[in-house]
Amino acid sequence: MPKTQTPLRTIALGALLDADMKERRHLLSPWFREQESALIWAAPGVGKTMLTLSLALAIAGGGGLLGWRAETPARVLIIDGEMPLDDLQGRLRSLSGAIEGIDMDAARGNLKILARHHQDPDTAFPDFGDEKQQDAILTLIRSYDPAVVILDNLSTLATLDDENGAAETQRVVRLLARLKQARIGVIVVHHSGKNGKTFRGSSMLATTFEAIIGLTRDAGADALDPSGSARFNIEWTKFRGRRDASIGDRSVLLKETEGGLQWTSETPQDETLNALAVLVRSGRFSTREAAGRALPSHLWPNPESAPSAGWISGRFKMADARGILPKREADSLLKAASESEDDHEGPAHDDI
């Protein structure tokens, strides 16, 4: 336990209610404010580092992505435990073009990187799992005066003999709590557990975070949509604030365009595929294109125009690959509808 430098303070209810509190600003609106912490977890190779590096660039340069925006540039410290410096350089260079409205001059000065592989082999690197180092770690982080520190990733930065042990995990939780006391926001990057449905280790880790975001592979997407350099589903497993349209589960794609990398998002594929299956099973459609165009417009790739035949064909392939609507069943239902005198190809949104 760290030594208490000042006496503990209390505040009376009256004084608390009458206090003129300074509103904490959003580091990334609408979900990440000063003095808050977030956990981003995923299996290796899904895209968690690409996302967190993009968040760092947006916060440092006053930019935005995926409907989230940093209105004012802020200082960011990335502490990286595993990536070679040239890989960090390449990723940050390419991702900078994917941040909307970024001020790169501000980002170049605001974003600092403390990387293990940038150090001399004889230089001791901080261990976030060692409680005896907490005072030194806190002093080190505060010396950079960051608004937010990003820890990528927990497994390489904290030595824990038993990740599932609540007592050992509590050591990390206490350090994260002290960073909050110092009014420093924290984003922790972590691996998923064996089942891929939650983060690795003790559930004790969840106690300190205002937001927990899981990134999961978009099943079947790699074979059916090879254009993206990263594609995953975002799942908000915990959020203490007020949600809006940008804070919800969705599919995210980081794709290469003529102008460089670009972040895009869409409604989770399964919602679209399940809706498509409902329409086909209604027996009202004799072709794939007719069923696809009958989807509600909010499920189209562009709500302003009906989906193309190629996009519809791709959704049917995904539905088959995931077992939501097997091809054999779809062929049979469409053929039966074609042979029926009461074949209806109009919109059938009420069936969804």
The string of DSSP codes covering 93-146 is HHHGGGSBT--HHHHHHHEEEEEGGGS-TTSPPP-TT-GGGHHHHHHHHHHT--
Q: What is the pLDDT of residue 148?
A: 97
Q: What is the pLDDT of residue 267?
A: 65
Residues 6+ apart with CB under 8 A from 191: 41, 42, 43, 44, 153, 154, 155, 199, 200
Tokens 């592979």 locate to 217
Which pTM does this prediction carry? 0.75
Q: What is the pLDDT of residue 249?
A: 79
Q: What is the pLDDT of residue 225?
A: 44
Domains of the chain by range and CATH? Answer: 24-266 (3.40.50.300), 269-351 (no CATH)
Q: What is the pLDDT of residue 256?
A: 84
d(CA 8, CA 15): 17
Q: Which residues pair with 230 in a beta bridge?
A: 254
Q: What is the pLDDT of residue 223?
A: 34
Cis peptide before 30 (omega within 30 of 0): yes
Mean pLDDT by 10 residues, the chain (352 residues): 71 94 91 95 92 97 94 96 94 94 97 96 93 94 97 92 85 93 96 87 91 83 50 89 78 84 78 88 93 86 84 91 90 90 51 52
Q: What is the pLDDT of residue 268?
A: 65
d(CA 241, CA 348): 36
